[in-house]
Amino acid sequence: MSRRESPPPPSPPPPPQLLGVRRGEVECEDRPERAEPLSDAEREIIQDTWGQVYKNCEDVGVSVLIRFFVNFPSAKQYFSQFQDMEDPDEMERSSQLRHHARRVMNAINTVVENLHDPEKVSSVLALVGKAHALKHKVEPMYFKILSGVMLEVLSEDFPEFFTAEVQMVWTKLMGAVYWHVTGAYTEVGWLQVSSSAV
């Protein structure tokens, strides 16, 4: 190579990845055509157990968000009000975190109260998905992560209600929530559907 020829510029680094999903993509290869519907018995189980949880909705929501942010600190990037908080006690005292916890729990409550009306559930979750995609620019995988954290907290805080059977039913509900939310992301053009989410 002569002095005039310079080596080619290095290729740009690959896009950042979290849990095997690149920004702007969602794991779509395994996405079913529709969410698996809940049976009448499953809807009743969810509504009965949620009644116990919702009595303490703010505290439960705060516990869920604290665990979410402690275990997945990258999620705090979307919250300017508490993104620099590291201490769980400080998070627990944050009025902004409490406010968001109430919003999360109220959204779940709306879903649970309307399980008999799939169109209403779909509409509510479409609004949540679109707001998070367009306004907040939140990566959709955080909904899946948050769902898992919520199920952990519920089963630990309410072991008498969240038996193995109940946990399976709630897992099915959270899968449906994620399905609807990611559908909203797709609808607004957020996703570039990838058959290889690596």
User: Confidence class of residue 16 from pLDDT cuts 50, 70 and 90?
Assistant: very low
pLDDT for 36-59, tens place per residue? 889 999 999 999 999 999 999 999
Q: Positive or negative, the Cα torsion across 23, 27, 184, 71? A: negative
Residue 136 has pLDDT above 60, yes or no: yes
| pTM for the predicted model, two decimal places | 0.79
Contacts of 161-167 with CB under 8 Å at 24 or more apart are: 161/48, 161/49, 161/52, 161/53, 162/49, 165/45, 166/45, 166/49
User: Confidence class of residue 83 from pLDDT cuts 50, 70 and 90?
Assistant: confident
Question: If 0-12 CB within 10 Å is exposed, 13-18 middle and 19+ buried, where does residue 86 land?
Answer: exposed
Q: Specify the CATH number of the domain 38-186.
A: 1.10.490.10
What is the longest distance spanned by two Cα atoms in the chain?
Answer: 77
Residues 180 and 37 sit within 8 Å (Cβ to Cβ):
no
Angle at 144 between CA 82 and CA 61, to 5 degrees: 45
Q: What Å distances lie between residue 83 and 72, 80, 182, 187, CA to CA?
A: 12, 5, 24, 29
pLDDT for 173-183, tens place per residue? 999 999 999 99
Q: Is 21 helix (H, G, I), strand (E, B) or coil?
A: strand
Domains in the chain: boundaries: 38-186
Residues 32 and 172 sit within 8 Å (Cβ to Cβ):
no
Residues 172 and 50 sit within 8 Å (Cβ to Cβ):
no
Q: Which two tokens stand for residue 196?
A: 């290889």
pLDDT for 151-160, tens place per residue? 999 999 999 9
